[in-house]
Structure 1
Amino acid sequence: MAEQSKRERIILFGVIPVLSAIIGSIATVIFTRAAGSGKVDDAVVEILRNQSYSAADKAKLLTLANADSDHFWSLLSSMMTFVTVAGMILAWALADWIRKR
Structure 2
Amino acid sequence: MEDIVKALEDETKIPTADTAFTKPQKLPFTVVLNTVESDGDDFKHRIVLHNDLAVEFYAERIDRANEKKLEAFFDKQFWNWKRERTWLTDEKCFETIYLINYTERV
Q: Tell me the TM-score normalized by structure 2.
A: 0.28
Decide which structure has greater strand share.
2
Higher relative contact order (CA 8 A, sep 6+): 1
Q: Tell me the TM-score normalized by structure 1.
A: 0.29
